[in-house]
Amino acid sequence: MDTLTQFRPETAANAEWWRGAVIYHVYPLSFADSNDDGYGDLPGVTGRLEHIRTLGADALWLSPFYTSPMRDFGYDVANYCDVDPVFGTLADFAVLVARAHALGLKVIVDQIYSHTSIQHPWFQESRRDRTNPKADWYVWADARPDGSPPTNWQSVFMGSAWTWDARRGQYYLNNFQSDQPDLNVHNPAVQDALLGVARFWLDRGVDGFRLDAVNFCMHDPQLRDNPPVTNASRRTRPFDFQHHFHNQSHPDIPKFLERIRALTESRGASFLVAEVGGEQAAMEMKLYTEGDTRLHSAYGFHYLYADQLTSELVRAGGEEWRGDAREGWPSLAFSNHDAPRVVSRWSDSRDQTAFAKMALLLLMTQRGSVFLYQGEELGLPQGRVPFENLRDAEAIANWPHTLGRDGARTPMPWLSTATHGGFSAAVPWLPVDPAHVALAVDLQERDPHSTLHFARRAIALRRRFSALRTGGQRFVDAPAPMLVFERGEGESALLCAFNLGASPVAWSLPEGWQIEESVNLKQLSAREIPALAGLLARRR
């Protein structure tokens, strides 16, 4: 019995396996291409599940693979209950789930309940006229007397959140792209249909759902204008000019979440986690996970959109979740498919490998369930994508003022000597950055000091010490840029310390502690800790 298998029975038998788990985030389009068409697919994921298993992850989360015109690369769903041919078939999905479960990995899939593609049959029927059976399945509204949109609401990406449709002679709401019309989730029939989608995937063996943009799934039926932001420090989009009080975040959302929880529990699925962004995210994450009848967990963009890693940032993130009565369970991520990779956002001009290792240890010592984005275990920086190769509408619209999302979605480098880093024999849908090939999996497998090997050690700590999975977190006062905190209680508590800065800092390990794991720390001086060094210590 190997080390990984030795730990699996405890987590598999535990209904709360997700509490403190490490969940590996797979963006299928860029993970592995099995048929050499330049696009990643489900058989490609299945063929690389051993990589996820040997990392020590408890589960994988798959970004969308449903039928889609791919204007938003799967987040614009045209059929919730089928696999897009780019990714394979339902039979391929069944093989993936069976193989993952055989390896002791849970499978989490995305559910997008706020909007569909303009090509979805529901929308095609809804737009036909104002009296058809699905006429109110989407958010429709008349123009203002001057023909302008019904409200001042702005979309996340592309200006006005309203698009005119000549067939109905009305505007439809699109909080994201204009070809992603918003569902009217106030409508009980829409809720029933979405629960049917969840039931479809539960019947196919999934272990839970990640709910995309869940706070966008209900709007203000009174169609009140959003108030302007008067003190914004940074504005790169029209979306940034207003408070989003009325196009999202309706107080009836928790009632719908309770219906989802009841369904999933009746089917034996065990994990529901929400993505919650925006200025009200901290409050909404608590609201959506409160008690035992809503979601298990939620995460926001506290880290994902932060420009710098500071001790204040981590303290603020940890102190949002204090373990109060009826409080849900936090989840967190440093990188994902929607945000520039952490190494490029936070390392500045410092050693990127050293920074990547330090960030991995920091992530794995935080309270909550953690999401590890594909390539993060390799220390990949943001991929360089020339403007002419950009595919994402958000990246194109905001170029060059943001790093965009394409650079976080470039293909995984598996083999340093193979074409396109071993991702595909064909030209990939996004280019492989040569800097990523130098960090390919095969090279790092051969180097015991690589980021990949350190990632496995850092993840193993969460299996070894229950304090890291489920223990509390208490921050200890320390001079910036030092970050010091304890995990767990009493004699089993662990001490974690990190120098997040670019220079050594005066700090020494307190009496009574001994180091169990460290990064970028050849020897701890009695007086200072080096830049980008981190450690985990336990009581002697």
Catalytic residue IDs: 212, 275
Other Cβ atoms within 10 Å of 10 Cβ, number: 11
Name the β-bridge partners of 528: 506
For every residue of 215-246, DSSP letters joined together read GGS---TT-PPPPBPSS-S--SSGGGGB--SS
In single-letter form, the type of residue at position 488 comes to: G
Whole-number Å distance between alpha carbons of 323 and 266: 27
Whole-number Å distance between alpha carbons of 428 and 415: 15
Position of tokens 């200072």? Answer: 528
Whole-number Å distance between alpha carbons of 150 and 143: 5
Whole-number Å distance between alpha carbons of 369 and 333: 9
Whole-number Å distance between alpha carbons of 118 and 163: 11
Name the β-bridge partners of 537: 495, 515
Whole-number Å distance between alpha carbons of 395 and 383: 13
Rounded alpha-carbon distances, angstroms, from residue 349 to 26, 210, 353, 456, 500 = 28, 35, 12, 26, 13
8 Å CB contact between 498 and 533: yes
User: Using the 8-state DSSP alphabet, how is residue 513 labeled?
Assistant: E
8 Å CB contact between 269 and 206: yes
8 Å CB contact between 96 and 59: no
| Helices 253-266 and 281-288, axial angle in degrees (round to 10) | 40
Alpha carbon 161 to its chain centroid, in Å, reads 24
76 Cβ partners below 8 Å, 6+ apart?
68, 69, 70, 115, 116, 117, 118, 119, 177, 179, 180
* Phi, psi angles (nearest 5°) of residue 305: -105, 5
